[in-house]
Chain A
Amino acid sequence: MSAPRLRATPLPGIGVQYDLETREHRHLSVVAHRDGTRTVNVYRSDDPDSCAQSLKLTSSEAGSLIDALKPSHHSPSLLYTTDLGLVAERIEVAATSRWNGRVLGEMRMRTETGASVVAVLRRAEAIPSPTPDFRLAGGDTLIVVGTREGVDAAAAILGRE
């Protein structure tokens, strides 16, 4: 199935309106205001020219909504760059994990999955670029960057008992 087309209509002095016709023939539109806010409109069935609901979103609210709408959404994503296909995730080392007390190098995460540990969050501090001899502890949170598959595999490795 081809991607549905967004129709763009300029609204002089307000911004641009993007219209989407869903497969069920419902009409949805987003008005991109020039100040970065967005209005999401759903239309009435008895009067298709007028909005039944018109939600105003700030740019950060719109950002969160976009994240939630992404088909490949994983909740605590810190960074998502569609053009590069990279994701960053926080993955916690459980106290029961086999890596509790072992060094990072033993995990061979980069070799196995292609994903890198770019930082470790421990209590209130962050340790950037941990070396292979960095010793993990239960409760640490690793910031892992890689492809979607790589990060998922890394999470599986970290989850080993």
Chain B
Amino acid sequence: MHSAVLLIEFGSIILGLGLLGRFAARFRLSPIPLYLLAGLAFGEGGLLPLGASEEFVATGAEIGVILLLLMLGLEYTASDLVSNLKTHYPSGLVDCALNALPGAAVALLLGWGPVAAVVLAGVTWISSSGVIAKVLGDLGRVGNRETPVILSVLVLEDLAMAVYLPIVTALVAGAGLMAGSVTLAIALGAAGLVLFLALRYGRLISRFVSSDDPEKLLLVVLGLTILVAGVAQQLQVSAAVGAFLVGIALSGEVAEGAHTLLSPLRDLFAAVFFVFFGLHTDPSSIPPVLLPALGLAVVTALTKIATGYWAARRAGISVKGRWRAGGALVARGEFSIVIAGLAVAAGVEPSLGPLATAYVLILVVLGPLTARYTEPVATWWARRREPSRPEPAPAPRAAEAEAPVGD
């Protein structure tokens, strides 16, 4: 009767997620926080411990991470990544410095050690491209001039993940400096090779995978991705990075076909992944880390706004657009959870999971609000200060006016 119990449990989870998703859509919220909360409600210390489907959900969660990263890779072509890297790398560096450091600092202050610091740095660094793209669409800002700037920051973060994830994987596995360096070298080599191949022979790769029949395309792409992810995991590189690189290598029609076919699968398994993450977090462990999470959320919201402001200024966008770019970048989401998930699975620091959960819950809700209100608030603030300042604009403003306009 084991299978009956499994079906009943898994079916209830999926159905529950579907209903939660509808509830979220009514309030125009991202469903991610609700999935996390659903996971918290069940599982350890929750209302209803799951038994039979535990293992199945764990596998589903792994596939969820793989699909999330594959779809991310499919969004971009290799030339997108390379051209973005060439023109916007300073913004990427500023983004990393401003947003990764607070995370690392908090982990060190809490005395969690260097490995947890690297993990938490990633959690606070990477914005959620999914949430942000949706918010831009909802606010009717897809055509705004600052949008390419926002997207380029996101692209760079995603590219950075290809380097960052193998490092984290090696660190949480407790690999030494030597083994870690080898892993990183493999990861960087693989990423470089895939980018090179995709730029050079992208059409050939896509032709190999291409199929007019959706069924076969689905099987080939999914099979190839999971296989590569498995090999990457075996090499200690990180399954997620393998999947991401497969996504980069596929381009053109194949990528679009695969995108359409895999979207529903991604939605299903990603939802399972968020639930799984919540399942492994004990709700009673959240209140003690709530304060650091809140502080970290406020600080990294401000640093993201500064990042967006700086990147947009570099691209020669007017002050209002800079604030809008900053506000839009605040949301963190799926990738922060993916990064935290790596550490939780390896049992790095028991409080890391709850902190990451609380942090993402706060920012995934706050992000759309900052996207909407940062610019009006900043404009209102500037206006309020102006009458009290009859003398010419303060020094930084003057410097801005003379700053050479970017590309």
**Within residues 79 to 102 of chain A, which ones have a CB less than 8 A from any CB in chain B?**
none
B142 contacts A50, C-beta separation under 8 Å: no
Contact residue among A11, A34, A41, A43 (Cβ-Cβ distance under 8 Å from B151): A11
- Measured between beta carbons, the chain A residues less than 8 angstroms from B151 are 11-14
Instruction: Judge whether A11 and B142 touch: CB under 8 Å.
Output: yes
**How far does the Cβ of B17 sit from chain A's closest Cβ, in whole Å?**
23
Contact of B143 among A34, A35, A51 (CB under 8 A): A51
Range of interface residues on A (Cβ < 8 Å): 20 to 34
Given contacts A39-B143, A49-B146, A51-B140, A10 and B318 within 8 Å (CB-CB): no
**Interface contact B145-A34, CB-CB below 8 Å:** no
Q: Does A147 count as interface, using CB distance less than 8 angstroms?
A: no
Residues of B within 8 A of A17 (CB): 142-143, 147-148
Chain B 104-146: CB-based contact to A (< 8 A → 1; otherwise 0): 0000000000000000000000000100010001001111111
Contact across chains for B129 and A13 when beta carbons are under 8 A apart: yes
Mask for B134-169, Cβ within 8 A of A = 1, else 0?
Answer: 000100111111111001101100000000000000
Q: B76, B144, B260, B321: which contacts A13 (Cβ < 8 A)?
A: B76
Contact B320–A47 (Cβ < 8 Å): yes
Q: Does B75 contact A (CB under 8 A)?
A: yes
Cα–Cα, bound, A69→B145 (Å): 25
Do B75 and A50 touch across chains, with their CB atoms under 8 A apart?
A: no
Residue B304 is within 8 A (CB to CB) of chain A in the complex: no
The docked-state distance in angstroms from the alpha carbon of A43 to that of B142 is: 12
User: Which residues from chain B contact A14 at a C-beta distance below 8 Å?
Assistant: 133, 142, 147, 151
Task: Scan A25-53; emit 1 where CB is below 8 A from any B CB, else 0.
Answer: 00001010011000101010001111101
Contact assessment for A31 and B84 in the assembled complex, using a CB-CB cutoff below 8 Å: no
Q: Which of B133, B145, B321, B324 has most chain A Cβ within 10 Å? A: B145
Q: Which residues of A contact B (CB under 8 A)?
A: 9-14, 17, 29, 31, 34-35, 39, 41, 43, 47-51, 53-54, 56
Q: What 5 pairs between A and B have smallest CB-CB spacing?
A: A41-B143, A54-B140, A49-B321, A49-B145, A13-B75
4 further contact pairs, Cβ within 8 A, besides A11-B151, A49-B144: A12-B154, A41-B143, A47-B321, A54-B143
> Can you spell out 27 A-B residue pairs with CB atoms less than 8 angstroms apart?
A9-B148, A11-B147, A12-B75, A12-B151, A12-B154, A12-B155, A13-B151, A13-B154, A14-B147, A17-B142, A17-B147, A17-B148, A31-B142, A35-B260, A39-B140, A41-B142, A41-B143, A47-B320, A48-B145, A49-B146, A49-B318, A49-B320, A49-B321, A50-B141, A50-B145, A50-B320, A54-B143
